[in-house]
Amino acid sequence: MEPLTEHRGVSGPVVYGFLRLVRVSRARQDALHDALAEYCRRHELALHGVFIERTAGTERSAAFTGLLDVLELHGTYGVVLPALSHLGPKAIAAPRQARITASGARLLLARGPRTPHPAPSGPVGAPPEWGRRRSPAPAPILDHDT
């Protein structure tokens, strides 16, 4: 009997990370890089590189231009970010997000947008799952069309 696919050395879809790190300690940089790597490991993605932007206030940086270049490579699935804020302030992030999606790449967020969770309902002493409600919004992880 053949082993299951999960037990074989199969490489997942190719993604690239992007971090915007302006005045960030080396420890924080390492933690964010590790978070991207762990996210990719959990979701069976092949993290082929991480582009790091260290400048503020410009839509076109060398790191972002490099990211756009690799998105044109055959077999690139998407971009993974710790959070949408790593694309920059709203005035910069919106056009950047549009350029990423226009390239055909998926934009994956390791940590989705924050939404308030309703207070649990149900009987006192009920397990926490009892009162959880599923959000009608799609999960920010992966599209299921891969």
What is the CATH number for 92? 3.40.50.1390
The ranges of the chain with pLDDT < 70 are 1-11, 57, 112-146
**pLDDT value of residue 133:** 41
pTM score, whole prediction: 0.69
User: Does a structural domain hold residue 119?
Assistant: no
In degrees and rounded to multiples of 5, residue 98 shows phi and psi of -65, -40
Give the pLDDT score at 50.
Answer: 96
Identify whether 109 is part of a domain.
yes
In a domain, 49, yes or no: yes
5 within domain boundaries: no
Give residue 64's domain range.
12-114+126-131
How many domains in the chain?
Answer: 1
Q: Does some domain include residue 74? A: yes
Confirm whether 101 is domain-assigned.
Answer: yes
Task: Give residue 143's pLDDT.
Answer: 43
Task: Give the per-residue pLDDT at 39.
Answer: 95
Give pLDDT, residue 113: 56
User: Is residue 142 in a domain?
Assistant: no
Residue 22 lies in a domain: yes
